[in-house]
Amino acid sequence: MDYAVIMAGGSGKRLWPLSREHRPKQMLRLLSGQTLLRRCFDRLCGLFDPRNILVVTNVGYVDMVRENLLELPAENVIAEPLVRDTAGAIGLAATVLHKHDPHSTMAVVTADQVIEPDEPLQRAMQIALDFVEEHPEALLTFGVKPTFASTQYGYIKLGQAVPCGESADAVRRLEAFREKPDAQTAKDYVDSGQYCWNSGMFVWKTRTILDKLHHFLPACIEPLQKIQLAWGRADQEDTLREWFVKLPKISIDYAVMEKTPEVYGISLDCCWRDLGSFTALADIIESDAANNIVAAEKAELLDCKHSIIVTEDTGHLIALIGVENMVIAHSPDATLICPASQSYRIKELLDQIQQHGGQRYL
């Protein structure tokens, strides 16, 4: 049977002060009052029965996830006791699914991406599910056709087409993974027409990804086996807390995808953005005549240009005069004001806040 796994464990520090340790970015209501998690779930419901959708999240976010996705069975929310990067999250989800259904196929998506419209991803996802059913040893990822030479995304190089039913050349062998490049290299990638942005979404058999993790990451074997044996028993949570922390902290790309030959890719032709920073809002929210991005119910701008104004507080008015190239992000107990060109330093600022005893603001 086909299952979908939503990875929703990240906190999103670059969207502080809206995103906090106790309220991650996938729970922010910046897009027409909807959370990114809600949008992701609705997108998957076009392909998967809600009972076959799992969410892997931080133990501190479980209640928020359940409140946001009331249709999701409570047991389908899996809590990570500690963040162990994507290899750990995927290994845990695959372990749980494989115990329940040894023949299961697993699609992996992340909750913090904006994808519009839904249809291109849904079509590509169905092609991927069919392909993996025909080629159970395959690992399949999705690339996004780049619209500009971004240095903020990783890239994948698609090679020769592989026959896949009526889908013609949709599925291609993957020739290479490339990490975030410099500006000239990114331009060369885009100009070549052979590279896509690495979306971080996958489809594979649970048996296959577990075999690959065991082969390339032997340190995960015992923890995942212990968790699988205990899953569904009275000691499930105790075993998870004891053994999950022993999984190596590494991404699935580094742990498996870059090392195995049976990797394939499908290119997505849609608007795709990883909402990892305030400046990314410019790609998904229409600007005003002066190129301001406003994600606020109440805002008055006088002679302002090229700025980003963000708040979820529907009763709070943000009023600005003569502001240019700035980020203004308001929350009930903290406000960020900085040049847009320096918003990448938010993590540095959070370190300073912590050093000064401001843990309550993080």
pLDDT at 162: 84
Give residue 166's pLDDT band: very low, low, confident or very high (50, 70, 90): low
Average pLDDT of every residue of the chain: 90
List C-alpha distances in Å: 247 to 76, 125, 208.
21, 29, 18
- How confident is the model over 72-87, as pLDDT tens digits? 999 999 999 988 889 9
> Is residue 128's pLDDT more than 90?
yes
pLDDT bucket at 168, cuts 50 / 70 / 90: low
Listed in sequence order, the residues at least 6 apart from 102 whose beta carbon sits closer than 8 Å to its beta carbon are 206, 207
What's the CA gap between 165 and 125, in Å, rounded?
Answer: 14
Can you list the alpha helix ranges (DSSP code H) found in 233-284? 236-244, 252
Check residue 231 and give its pLDDT.
95
What is the fold, at CATH topology level, of the domain defined by 2-274? Spore Coat Polysaccharide Biosynthesis Protein SpsA; Chain A (3.90.550)
Residues 207-242: pLDDT tens digits? 999 999 999 999 999 999 999 999 999 999 999 999
Q: State yes or no: pLDDT of 205 exceeds 90.
A: yes
Q: State pLDDT tens for residues 250-267.
A: 999 999 998 988 899 999
- All CATH 3.90.550.10 domain ranges of the chain, comma separated, are 2-274
